[in-house]
C-alpha cells in the first residue's frame, strides 16, 4: 500500500480521467472495506461515474471524427501541418545559421529543447483528436514562456500565422463535432475540470477524517488515497522523463504500453493503467 502523508497532495498533477477512474474505483473499494462514511464512499463513486461518462463522450467524439470527415476539416488539418512544419524548420535553421552560442541560436535551442522537442511527424501524423491536444499544449507553452525567444529569432509573424491556422483547425473540428451531434472538446474539458474538483473534494474529506500523523490515521488515509498517490507518482515519472513536456497518456490495459489514440471498448470500464 502506498503511504500517504498529510501533505501528499499539496503538489499534484492533472491526470487523464482514465487514471482518476482507476484510482477512484480502488479508493471506493477500500473505503467500503474499512467502513468509511457514506460521504467518502459516495464521493469516490461520483468520480467513478464521471470518468465513465467522460469515456463515453470521448468515444462518441472520436468515432464520429473517423467515420465522417468534412473536407474543410481535412483542409485545415493540412494547412496546420504545413505551417507547424515550416515553423519548426525555421527555428532549426536559426540554430544552424547562427550557431548555438549566438543569441538567436540560444533562443532557438531553448524552444527546440522545450516545447518543440518532439519530432514534427509525431505531431502532424497524430490523429486529429490528439493533434489538437498536443498542438494546444505546445502553443500555450510557447506563448507563455518563449515569446522573447520567438522575437529574438524574428518569427513573430510566422508564430501568429501558426496560431491562426490552429484556431481555424479547432473551429473546423468543433463544427464537425456539432454536425455529428457528439460532445465538443470544450464539453470534455468542462467535465475534466469537474472530475479534478471532485478529486480535490475527496482528498479534503479523507484528510479531514484522518488529520493527524498518527499510525492509525496514516493507514486509514493511505488506504483510500493511496491509488491517487500512485497515479501522481507515475505522472511525475512521465514528466521527468519527458522534461516536463508532452501529454500524459492513457495506458493500454493489456500491454501496459502508452497509447496516444485509445478507442474505449464497449464495456463499462475505462482503460486501467498497469
pLDDT digits (tens, 9 = 90+) for 29-64: 999 999 999 999 999 999 999 999 998 898 888 777
At 241, is the secondary structure helix, strand, or coil?
helix
Cβ-based neighbour number of residue 269 at 10 Å: 16
Tally the residues of the chain: 274
Residue 168 near residue 137 (C-beta atoms within 8 A): no
Which three cell numbers, joined as nine digits, stand for 91? 527555428
At 13, is the secondary structure helix, strand, or coil?
coil
At residue 193, does pLDDT exceed 80? yes
pLDDT number for residue 180: 59
At residue 272, does pLDDT exceed 60? no
List the domain boundaries for the chain: 8-65+184-259, 69-179
Residue 47 near residue 202 (C-beta atoms within 8 A): yes
Mean pLDDT of 211-240: 91
DSSP state of 93: H
Mean pLDDT of 180-196: 87
Alpha carbons 28 and 47: distance in angstroms, whole number: 9
Query: What pLDDT band is residue 167 in, cutting at 50, 70 and 90?
Result: very high
Give the Å distances, CA to CA, from 100 to 104, 113, 163, 188, 252.
Answer: 8, 12, 27, 41, 40
pLDDT number for residue 260: 56
* Nearest Cα residue to 131 out of 140, 139, 122: 122
Cβ-based neighbour number of residue 178 at 10 Å: 11
Query: What pLDDT band is residue 247 in, cutting at 50, 70 and 90?
Result: confident
Residue 244 near residue 117 (C-beta atoms within 8 A): no
Query: What pLDDT band is residue 91 in, cutting at 50, 70 and 90?
Result: very high
Give the Å distances, CA to CA, from 190 to 50, 59, 152, 186, 234.
Answer: 11, 16, 36, 6, 24
Which three cell numbers, joined as nine digits, stand for 101? 552560442
Which three cell numbers, joined as nine digits, stand for 200? 480535490
Query: Going by C-beta distance under 8 Å and a sequence separation of 6 or more, which residues neighbour residue 112?
Result: 91, 92, 95
Query: What pLDDT band is residue 268 in, cutting at 50, 70 and 90?
Result: very low
Higher pLDDT, 178 or 182: 182
Q: For CA atoms 124, 147, 184, 246, give the dihedral sign.
A: positive
* Nearest Cα residue to 91 out of 165, 169, 162, 164: 162
pLDDT number for residue 243: 78
Amino acid at each position: 500500500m502506498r503511504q500517504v502523508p498529510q501533505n501528499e497532495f499539496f503538489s499534484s498533477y492533472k491526470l487523464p480521467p482514465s487514471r482518476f477512474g482507476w484510482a477512484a474505483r480502488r479508493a471506493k473499494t477500500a473505503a467500503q472495506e474499512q467502513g468509511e462514511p457514506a460521504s467518502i464512499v459516495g464521493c469516490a463513486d461520483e468520480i467513478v461515474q464521471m470518468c465513465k461518462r467522460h469515456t463515453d463522450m470521448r468515444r462518441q467524439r472520436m468515432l464520429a471524427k473517423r467515420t465522417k470527415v468534412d473536407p474543410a476539416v481535412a483542409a485545415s488539418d493540412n494547412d496546420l501541418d504545413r505551417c507547424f512544419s515550416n515553423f519548426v524548420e525555421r527555428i532549426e535553421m536559426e540554430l544552424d545559421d547562427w550557431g548555438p552560442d549566438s543569441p538567436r541560436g540560444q533562443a532557438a535551442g531553448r524552444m527546440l529543447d522545450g516545447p518543440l522537442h518532439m519530432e514534427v511527424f509525431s505531431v502532424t501524423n497524430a490523429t486529429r483528436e490528439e493533434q489538437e491536444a498536443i498542438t494546444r499544449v505546445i502553443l500555450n507553452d510557447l506563448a507563455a514562456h518563449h515569446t522573447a525567444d520567438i522575437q529574438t529569432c524574428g518569427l513573430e509573424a510566422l508564430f501568429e500565422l501558426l496560431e491562426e491556422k490552429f484556431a481555424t483547425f479547432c473551429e473546423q473540428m468543433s463544427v464537425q463535432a456539432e454536425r455529428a451531434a457528439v460532445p465538443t472538446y470544450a464539453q470534455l474539458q468542462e467535465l475534466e475540470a469537474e472530475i479534478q474538483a471532485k478529486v480535490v473534494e475527496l482528498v479534503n474529506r479523507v484528510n479531514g477524517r484522518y488529520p493527524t500523523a498518527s499510525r492509525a490515521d496514516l493507514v486509514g488515509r493511505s488506504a483510500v488515497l493511496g491509488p491517487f498517490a500512485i497515479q501522481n507518482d507515475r505522472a511525475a515519472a512521465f514528466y521527468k522523463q519527458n522534461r516536463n513536456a508532452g501529454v500524459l497518456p492513457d495506458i493500454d490495459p493489456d500491454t501496459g504500453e502508452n497509447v496516444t489514440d485509445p478507442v474505449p471498448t464497449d464495456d463499462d470500464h475505462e482503460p486501467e493503467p498497469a
